[in-house]
Amino acid sequence: MHKEFNEMKTDVDQGRTPTSTVRELLRWFGARRRRTGIVKKIQSELDDAGIITSPDFTKVWIDAEITFKKAHTVAAATTPAGEHPSDSKATEAPREASFLISMLEAANRGVISVQPQDSVEKAITLMLAHDFSQLAVMTNERTLKGTISWKTIGKRLSHENNLKEAKDAMEAAFALEDSEPLFKATKQIIDHEFVFVRSSVDQKVTGIVTATDLSEQFQSLSEPFLLIGQIENQVRKMLHEKFSVSELQEACSDADPSRREKIQSVADLTFGEYLRLFQKPEKWDKLDLSVDRGVFCDEMNSVREIRNDVMHFDPDGIEDEHYDQLRRFSRLLDELDSLGQ
């Protein structure tokens, strides 16, 4: 564990409320993303130290600031008779990072706004300067009066309205709290083209999420699944009709005989079982591949580990080097396929 975590604990014990970012907290534990295992480890360390983060480090943007505070003591009366408060931890579901709209960078970037009485020219200039399609119309950081956009300006001009102030081209704005689940918010974003995001703590408008932001987020979440699916298809093609059913069944763990019986084709194998086939010299020789078996299996094992992380659908996505690993291995399989034709 990083010494900074211990320094933070000392600060809290002495009555201070130190701050950090989620990314920095992860770094203290040698991690860069909120994987299930690392979230569980961090939460366990925080629980043992009697510390909480505000807001919850699993429910905010990875670069959001969090404050470390002393947790409130749970009264013994709130637990069943004869049970120690700490005993109840064993029955809690494992903590995982949530998919909330607050996880998006756009929801935390702040907003560029104009006052209702500001000129339309000012709004247009700001949209051009920042390459925005819309602006918030606000009287202060919490009071959202509406929105002005190229679309609302065009509508008003088409009716030959005399536009002078931002309020003359303003329409109602739609806002969601940052605690809104991302997938539930998706329909609202699509319907309205964009939504403003409010802090559930102090009601400040913290950002605006557009349909473009949403598509970029889903691309980052879905691309690893597509790459892994492509790799699995390439592996199945490589193994097709090379082994008998009994040989395929040998890739299954001896500890699970019922699983072995279910394997009747290459498509029934797991990714780990594919790897187990490649690792056996006698099976490798049957594939007649002109590459080093050890290097190939190391690369494939790295893909297997990435695959396990991706299947947890981490809201922080995967690292760039993991994307590179998936693409690189897929290219290798393509090249081996072309050489074999």
Locate the domains of the chain by residue range.
3-97, 105-211, 214-340
Instruction: Order across the sheet with 175-177: list the strands.
Output: 175-177, 194-198, 205-210
pLDDT of res. 308: 81
Please give the DSSP secondary-structure letter assigned to residue 200. Answer: T
Long-range contacts of 279-286 (CB under 8 A, 24+ apart): 280/250, 283/243, 283/247, 286/242, 286/243
Q: What are phi and psi of 73, to 5 degrees?
A: -75, 130
DSSP category for residue 66: E
Average pLDDT over residues 100-124: 94
Question: What local confidence, expressed as pLDDT, does residue 73 receive?
Answer: 47
| Other C-beta atoms lying within 10 Å of the C-beta of residue 19 | 14
Confidence band, pLDDT 50/70/90 cuts, at residue 282:
very high
CA distance 221 to 243: 35
Structure tokens at 3: 């010494």
Distance between CA atoms of 150 and 131, rounded to whole angstroms? 11
When pLDDT is cut at 50, 70 and 90, the band that residue 89 belongs to is very low
Cα separation of 174 and 188, whole Å?
Answer: 9
- β pairing state of 51-54 and 19-21: unpaired
Which range has the worst mean pLDDT, 57-71, 83-97, 148-162, 185-199? Answer: 83-97
Domain 105-211 is found in CATH 3.10.580.10: yes
Secondary structure element (H or E) that encloses residue 114, with its range: strand 113-114
Collapsed DSSP state (helix, strand, coil) of residue 289:
coil
**Is the predicted pLDDT of residue 177 greater than 80, yes or no?**
yes
Q: Is pLDDT of 159 > 80?
A: no
